[in-house]
Amino acid sequence: MKCDHCDKPAVVHEVIIRSGVSNEIHLCAEHAIAAGYPLPIDQPIADIFPQLETASKGDIGKAKERSPKCSACGLTFTAFRKSGMLGCPACYDAFMPMIEQVIESSQGGATHHVGRSPHGGAETERLQNLRAKLMRDLEIAVTAEQYERAAKLRDELRAMDPPTP
């Protein structure tokens, strides 16, 4: 892009938006200095602001100090998060509040491991729940001396059983 005042390459680019109207300014080094714009420099930001580099290193050190540590093996929670493995049984007690958060986020809100179901597991679970309901209904029917109903429930339960050789 060229300078708005001459044919030299522009080094300063500015977009000013006022009342919804956009105005672009492109200036070469000479016209940018004349207009009072600071010139961009090809210097790494760490060289310009060395205090930022030392401050960030200090913050990292402080974060490591603040990371909870297992009293038995010395593993930090930060190291656990990187590796995904605890160092010893005492780590569970040392990191329990944080581990619960990790489990909850990885299990979709569940606070205990839910794992995966085997192929056809949903159908098996449905049949187990149905069997448990029929058993409860059978006990209620026998207790209430509803023997005809109890016989029907017994037959339904027998029909659910696989045939015996």
Residue 17: inside a domain, yes or no?
no
**In this structure, are 102 and 132 located in the same domain?**
no
Domain boundary residue, one of 106, 130, 152: 106
Domain that holds residue 149: 121-160
What pLDDT, on the 0 to 100 scale, is given for residue 65? 54
- CA-based Rg of the chain, rounded to a whole angstrom? 36
Query: Any residues with CB less than 8 A from the CB of 130 and at least 6 apart, and which?
Result: 160
Beta bridge partners of 12: 27
Report pLDDT digits (tens) over 58-69: 454 454 456 788
User: Are both 140 and 94 inside the same structural domain?
Assistant: no
Taking only the tens place, the pLDDT of each residue in 114-136 is 666 667 777 888 888 899 999 99
Strands, DSSP E only, in 19-164? 21-27
User: Is 28 part of any domain?
Assistant: no
CA dist 83 and 75 (Å) reads: 11
Contact 4, 12 (CB under 8 A): no
| Residue 64 placed within a domain | yes
In a domain, 59, yes or no: yes
Q: Which one, of 47, 44, 27, 43, lies nearest residue 35 by Cα?
A: 27
Coil/strand/helix, residue 150: helix
71 or 106, which is more confident: 71
Domain-located, residue 24? no
* Residue 139: inside a domain: yes
Question: Helix or strand or coil: residue 59?
Answer: helix
Range 95-106 average pLDDT: 77
- Does residue 145 lie within any of the structural domains? yes
With bands split at pLDDT 50, 70 and 90, how would you rate the model's confidence at 41?
A: low
Q: How many CB atoms lie within 10 A of CB 116?
A: 6
Output the pTM of the full model.
0.31
Q: Is residue 41 part of a domain?
A: no
> Same domain for 95 and 141?
no
Model confidence at 50, pLDDT cuts 50, 70, 90, reads: low
3-state secondary structure of 12: strand
- Pair 14, 24: CB distance under 8 Å: yes
Mean pLDDT of 43-55: 52
